[in-house]
Structure 1
Amino acid sequence: MNNFRHNAFKLFGFIASVIHYGCVGHCALEYGGNFVLCSGPSMEPTILTNNIIVSEHISPRLRRIKHGDIVISKSPINPTQFICKRVTGLPGDKIYYGYSFCIVPMGHVWLEGDNKNNSSDSRSYGPVPQALIRGRVICRVWPLEDIRMLTDRPY
């Protein structure tokens, strides 16, 4: 009976540790940042298909997104999909595209892919609610020979 009790306490301790570290891991990925595998040509040549990037989740929560930031957002046309685009307009900005223009409303941003000829972005679906932004891209970590920071803002 003593051996059973000892093993039960060890099992309980192991389960408690798994739950504890699982919660810490979940909070780190949900509120801190995470790794994202990119696919699609819309951000070429900055980010290529199968590149892995690191995004942080603090800037969007604090509404500290700026012109030129690359962000990960839920797609405004397919909420089960995530998109990676560059912020080219903030609330109040006048955006010219094609033969028209749009004033970005409060609480929204204008997102465009770097590959203007092969990107579905705000030019087709309009301003994106800031609440859909999940992270700001910090750097590319894969492939290893092409690691670099992606926080340089060209605007």
Structure 2
Amino acid sequence: MKKYVRTIFEWGILIVIAWVLSFGIRTYILDTRIVPTGSMLPTIQLQDRLIFDKLFFRYDTLERGNIIMFTASEGSGEHDDLVKRIIGMPGETLEVRESKVWIDGQALAEPYLKDAPDYEYGPIEIPEDSYLVFGDNRNNSKDSHVWGFVPKENVEGRVLLRYWPLEQWGSLD
């Protein structure tokens, strides 16, 4: 009988340790998301599963083109974590016209787009410690052109890789 009690106790300890490790990793280091919308087509497909770096990106510089997970700004009407691409960096002047994004007067090359934007936006100067983010499916994405800037503190992680479907496994860069 003592042997069974000891085995149950040991299994209980292992389960608690596994749960604590899992909780800590998902809360502070890595997290996963299933993409529910087509706003990032063709780069990210509906129901793709992504792994996000929630820790190490904070010690690196976010760059134009990074795909990030963030909470939308207050007043945006969005309540879930969102996934979009950084297009505008702090201090830049951005404008969407002639079906292109213009940054400080230069057209941005965007080979990842589903379709060129069919709207005009700006010109607008991006505040320090904020980003302007757009979906790759520009004409079917609720993004910064609808609800504004993403403050740096709202960025929760940067996409590391797609892990599902398996045939699409790998980096999104």
The residue type paired with residue 18 of structure 2 is Y
Query: In structure 2, do the counterparts of structure 1 residues 79 and 19 end up closer, same or farther at CA, with 3 Å as the change threshold?
Result: farther
Which has the larger share of helix?
1
User: Quick one: distance in 2 between partners of 1:37 and 1:52?
Assistant: 5
The residue type paired with residue 93 of structure 1 is E
Query: In structure 2, do the counterparts of structure 1 residues 99 and 111 end up closer, same or farther at CA, with 3 Å as the change threshold?
Result: closer
2:109 is the counterpart of 1:87: no
Unaligned runs of 5+ in 2: 97-119
Unaligned runs of 5+ in 1: none
2:20 is the counterpart of 1:23: yes
Percent of paired sites with the same residue: 26
Question: What is the aligned partner in structure 1 of residue 129 from structure 2?
Answer: 107
Q: CA RMSD in A?
A: 2.0
User: Quick one: distance in 2 between partners of 1:99 and 1:33?
Assistant: 34
Question: What is the aligned partner in structure 2 of residue 56 from structure 1?
Answer: 53
User: Quick one: distance in 1 between partners of 2:24 and 2:55?
Assistant: 12
Q: Deviations over 1:72-103 (max 9, x none)?
A: 11122246311110001121111113252221
2:123 is the counterpart of 1:124: no
Q: Deviations over 1:36-89 (max 9, x none)?
A: 110111100000111111211124433621110001111222463111100011
In the comparison of the two structures, how many residue pairs are matched?
Answer: 148
User: Quick one: distance in 1 between partners of 2:8 and 2:69?
Assistant: 40
1:60, 1:133 within 8 Å by CA — same for their partners in 2?
no
Q: What is the TM-score when the length of structure 2 is the normalising length?
A: 0.75
Q: Which stretch of the first structure deviates more once superposed, 28-37 or 104-113?
A: 28-37
